[in-house]
């Protein structure tokens, strides 16, 4: 019981820090955000911040990482008889049905990453970790080991999702969340394109 409480407290502290980082970046600009200010905003010690994040960039992109981790977890839970791409599409759509993915917080992080070149190195680091985790999950699903296939699927799936999200955001104003049903339709169409093959 005590272990469960400690874990919940850790998760709550991590969430408070990433939300504080996002609030400050949106209000004052990324260049004016520091680890010290994030810790103050979340009402924790600076040492506590560094227990969870190595930099302000990592804290800012933690929301995107949480979304990707949820996709991998949902993919692992899909029925084994589903094809890899079908299971991936269903996992993505399942996560999208949760409030956090289509919410303002996630959209704000996506917009920040598009507008701030300083976030690119951390974005690439997060992306690499996401792709490794998904490739491992895909590899577990295969009847025979095929690392190249697993890595190609993982990389292509996340690239497809990024392109689809980017196009979805382009159709909206700075302060609005575009319709989720549009995103769901575009995700389904994009994964159908992958399944059919890209060679034309």
Question: What are 197's two structure tokens?
Answer: 């093959």
Every domain of the chain and the residues it spans: 2-55, 61-196
Question: What are 169's two structure tokens?
Answer: 């955001």
In this structure, whether the domain defined by 2-55 belongs to CATH 3.30.1360.120 is answered with no
pLDDT at residue 176 in the model: 67
Question: In the block, which residue shows the tokens 């949902």?
Answer: 74
Q: Give 102's pLDDT tier (boundaries 50, 70, 90).
A: very low
Whether the per-residue pLDDT at 19 is higher than 80: the answer is: yes
Topology given in CATH for the domain delimited by 61-196: Tetracycline Repressor; domain 2 (1.10.357)
pLDDT in tens, 107-147: 788 888 888 888 888 888 888 999 999 999 999 999 888 99
**What is the Cα–Cα distance from 52 to 35, expressed in whole angstroms?**
11
pLDDT in tens, 157-178: 999 999 998 888 887 766 666 7
Q: What is the pTM of this model?
A: 0.83
Calculate what percentage of the chain has a pLDDT beyond 90.
Answer: 60
The per-residue DSSP string of 143-193 comes to SS--HHHHHHHHHHHHHHHHHHHHHHHHTS-TT-PPPHHHHHHHHHHHHHH
Q: What letter would DSSP give residue 174?
A: T
Question: What are 129's two structure tokens?
Answer: 């970790």
**What is the Cα–Cα distance from 107 to 169, expressed in whole angstroms?**
8
pLDDT in tens, 175-196: 666 788 888 999 999 999 999 9
Q: Give the residue from 152, 61, 145, 141 showing the smallest Cα distance to 108.
A: 61
pLDDT at residue 5 in the model: 87
* Torsion over CA: 108, 190, 163, 130 (sign): positive
**What is the Cα–Cα distance from 179 to 176, expressed in whole angstroms?**
9
**What is the Cα–Cα distance from 179 to 161, expressed in whole angstroms?**
16
Question: In the block, which residue shows the tokens 């497809």?
Answer: 160
Q: Residues 61, 17: contact at Cβ < 8 Å?
A: no
């Amino acid at each position: 019981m005590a272990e469960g409480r400690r874990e919940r407290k850790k998760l709550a502290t991590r969430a408070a820090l990433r939300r504080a980082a996002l609030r400050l970046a949106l209000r004052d600009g990324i260049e004016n955000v520091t680890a010290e200010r994030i810790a103050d905003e979340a009402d924790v010690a600076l040492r506590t911040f560094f227990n969870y994040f190595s930099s302000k960039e990592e804290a800012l992109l933690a929301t995107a990482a949480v979304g990707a981790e949820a996709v991998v977890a949902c993919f692992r839970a899909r029925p084994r008889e589903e094809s890899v791409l079908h299971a991936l599409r269903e996992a993505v759509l399942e996560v999208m049905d949760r409030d956090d993915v289509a919410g303002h917080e996630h959209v704000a992080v996506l917009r920040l990453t598009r507008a701030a070149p300083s976030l690119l190195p951390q974005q690439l680091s997060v992306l690499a970790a996401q792709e490794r985790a998904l490739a491992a999950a895909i590899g577990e699903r295969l009847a025979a080991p095929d690392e190249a296939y697993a890595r190609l699927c993982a990389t292509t799936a996340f690239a497809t999702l990024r392109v689809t999200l980017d196009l979805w955001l382009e159709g909206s104003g700075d302060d609005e969340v575009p319709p989720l049903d549009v995103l769901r339709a575009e995700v389904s169409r994009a994964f159908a394109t992958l399944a059919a093959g890209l060679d034309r």
